Structure 1
Amino acid sequence: MNFLIVGAGLSGAVIGRALADAGHKITIVDSRPHVAGNCHTERCAETGVLVHVYGPHIFHTDDAEVWDYVNGFARFLPYRNRVKSTVGGSVYSLPVNLHTINQFFGKTMRPDEARAFIETTQADTTITDPQSFEEQALRFVGRDLYDAFFRGYTEKQWGCAPTELPASILKRLPLRFNYDDNYFNHRFQGMPEQGYTAMVEAILAHDGIDVHLETPFTHEMAKRADHVIWSGPLDAYFGYSLGRLGYRTLDFERFTDTGDYQGCAVMNYGARDVPYTRITEHKHFAPWESHDATVCYREYARSCGPDDIPYYPIRLVEEKALLGEYEALAEAEDGVSFVGRLGTYRYLDMDVTIREALDLVPGLLQRFGTPKSP
């Protein structure tokens, strides 16, 4: 069978490789000049630093099969994401942990003391069923920590009041009553030694895969394929006929310096009077390398326009209603599979993206057959 895959990011690459291994012919088109989508990494010619061009991506998972999969195409080295936040002239560690609590309140509490302190003097226990981001935060950590670390950052990141956002967004962020400042709890955490683009290139290195970059999709292409795998924006496939789904996009103010600019990979800025949400220093994402100079990004979030790169689906009430209409159109499309973050209009971590791509393939092979054994 001839499969046309739109998008050379993680979803397209993983599905394409599996189908090619099974003997199918794969054509992949991508409008950008590189593979790997928003995970794209490249060397800075000026500094030699490996830069996450569209913002940092840190691989973390509890899925052993996915971890083994990515390690089959790249050497992953250990990496722990330890985020800092500048608030009120001081630097704190995130996620909020025992060190953050003791430093912020000027105390030396033990774990059980800190837990009782937050619950009895900070948390709003009158909130029994948090519905919004703000209610979840006030019940979770109380007004002082919420105002310092969550409120301003969230307003800048999402462009709306935290009262308008669902509580589920905050449920992804941990609160720890120990000194563990590792942002993620997953068993497997790391970075590909040579970057994500090299990893995706290795996944795509197959005689049965033909990749065409700087090649925007047209529906005429689909007529020449037996089946289409679509990892672009869901609404874009239908020509935005029902309207555009809402996204947030990011602008990056790139600058270089000598030495070590901030001493960590990610420094958040929660204050509302600081226009950017964070500064990322890219050489710290590859601590096994040594560079005399450094590359940093100041990161600004805003509404996504027609010509911008979509990053985060908004998924508020209006968008969910429109999403339902587009999902109905997608369900009626027999010759297309919609995949990935954009194709399903969901925020997906990299490991979940790969897992869903791997899980899709058996159904495709059952439907279209296996020309030869892998």
Structure 2
Amino acid sequence: MVGAGLSGAVIGRCLAEAGHEIDVIDSRNHIGGNCQTRRDEETGVLVHVYGPHIFHTDDEEVWNYVNSFEPFKPYKNRVKTTARGQVFSLPINLHTINQFFGRTMRPDEARRFIQEEQADTSIEDPKTFEEQALRFVGRDLYEAFFKGYTLKQWGCHPSELPASILKRLPVRFNYDDNYFFHKFQGMPENGYTALIEKILDHPGITVQLETDFKQDMAAHYDHVFYSGPLDGFFDYELGRLGYRTLDFEEFRYDGDYQGCAVMNYGEEEVPFTRITEHKHFAPWECHEGSVCYREYSRACEPGDVPYYPIRLVKEKALLSDYVELAEKTAGVTFVGRLGTYRYLDMDVTIREALDTARGFIDRLERGEAPPAFFSAPV
């Protein structure tokens, strides 16, 4: 298993339980990948080292799987945003609409108001992020809550991004400020590092950190599961796939800095996208001091931690070329967010890891070679 994040841990555990001997390697000095959590020595706050990760899913098997290793505490993600000198709730809901427009509308009144007075109904088939937002919430709400944030997050104008980034109607006509819709939502009581440690705790698994993968290592194994960057496996011979990366400016506060876990800053002139206050991700704990991150998004350079695959036209063309290379490479299966160049929530990562391990075992039993991808990148 190349990578000691969720993909490598879950696949490794499944195969170890099936009787295989598993070596997990990771180039970093810790397990967990970008899900790493650690206790801050000064405050005792459980810090999400690479930014916040909130677990949410409708997949009951995945929910039961993670809870079998580490108990999850209930947690609802309630995001706030600062815009035009005020604090609003996200996603846009009835409270946001009434506060923003200085009204006291009921749900049916607000729905008519947005649809008839705000939404740009001349846009019948939105193709871009900007068109999608204008079609459903109108220019005022779009410019206050979406435009500046998106410019900072993606480094390009919303008119250059696909409408699919706004997957669902970005407005609610009730006072529900729960950011996610999913049935199961929570946080691991002792953090994601503790969860992944327990998944990897099996006599058939060994873990080696600060170990870079070299292609000649594959000769020593029956099969390699690779969760590193797809282009990196081929030493970027066709060029680099585009990612956005994040920089975190950590600061401390004696007390409660912002009263919530996530405060977005949607205005373009504010250079960071949001501030996260980590003690609020574990509301069952009590800490006097606080650890906060200002979060900045920029283009990913060599040596940076890749976060968000860009997947625009140019990147998709290059991805297709790398997929063709991968499918000609025997003995390797590419998995996870980096291995398949897709943005994956944690529950989807675990689902795909479980399905990959089961599919691999099934292929072995039938005497068939495992594919390069159990989950297609394109």
TM-score by length of 1: 0.97
One-letter amino acid matched to 2:215 = H
Cα displacement string for residues 98-136 of structure 1 (whole angstroms, at most 9, x for unaligned residues): 000000000000000000000000000000000000000
C-alpha distance in structure 2 between counterparts of 1:61 and 1:14, whole Å: 17
Cα distance change of structure 1 residues 344 and 166 upon mapping to structure 2, 3 Å threshold: same
C-alpha distance in structure 2 between counterparts of 1:61 and 1:46, whole Å: 33
Equivalent residue number for residue 231 of structure 1: 227
Match of 1:62 among 58, 69, 74: 58
Cα distance change of structure 1 residues 172 and 296 upon mapping to structure 2, 3 Å threshold: farther
Equivalent residue number for residue 330 of structure 1: 326
| Structure 2: gaps spanning 5 or more residues | 367-378
Instruction: Provide the secondary structure at the position in 2 that maps to 1:171.
Output: coil
Match of 2:236 among 228, 240, 263: 240
Equivalent residue number for residue 339 of structure 1: 335
* Alignment check: 8 A CA contact 1:95 1:173 kept: no
Question: Identity of paired residues, percent?
Answer: 73
Equivalent residue number for residue 26 of structure 1: 22
Equivalent residue number for residue 313 of structure 2: 317
C-alpha distance in structure 1 between counterparts of 2:76 and 2:309, whole Å: 26
Equivalent residue number for residue 212 of structure 1: 208
| Structure 1: gaps spanning 5 or more residues | none
Task: Give the deviation of 1:154 after TM superposition.
Answer: 0.2
Match of 1:304 among 300, 307, 318: 300
Task: Give the deviation of 1:367 after TM superposition.
Answer: 2.7
Instruction: Provide the secondary structure at the position in 1 that maps to 2:270.
Output: coil
C-alpha distance in structure 2 between counterparts of 1:13 and 1:70, whole Å: 12
Cα displacement string for residues 21-66 of structure 1 (whole angstroms, at most 9, x for unaligned residues): 0000000100111111000000001111000000000000000000
| Structure 1 consecutive aligned stretches of length 4 or more whose deviation exceeds 6 Å | none
Match of 2:155 among 150, 153, 159: 159
Equivalent residue number for residue 49 of structure 2: 53
* Alignment check: 8 A CA contact 1:229 1:337 kept: yes
Task: Give the deviation of 1:223 after TM superposition.
Answer: 1.1
TM-score by length of 2: 0.96
Equivalent residue number for residue 356 of structure 1: 352
C-alpha distance in structure 1 between counterparts of 2:169 and 2:86, whole Å: 21
C-alpha distance in structure 2 between counterparts of 1:337 and 1:292, whole Å: 46
* Alignment check: 8 A CA contact 1:29 1:215 kept: yes
C-alpha distance in structure 1 between counterparts of 2:84 and 2:169, whole Å: 22
Cα distance change of structure 1 residues 175 and 346 upon mapping to structure 2, 3 Å threshold: same
* Alignment check: 8 A CA contact 2:136 2:170 kept: no
Equivalent residue number for residue 185 of structure 1: 181
Cα distance change of structure 1 residues 158 and 173 upon mapping to structure 2, 3 Å threshold: farther
C-alpha distance in structure 2 between counterparts of 1:369 and 1:363, whole Å: 10
C-alpha distance in structure 1 between counterparts of 2:343 and 2:229, whole Å: 12
Cα displacement string for residues 274-325 of structure 1 (whole angstroms, at most 9, x for unaligned residues): 0000000000000000001000000000000001000000000100000000
Equivalent residue number for residue 90 of structure 1: 86
Pairs aligned (count): 366
Match of 1:122 among 118, 123, 128: 118
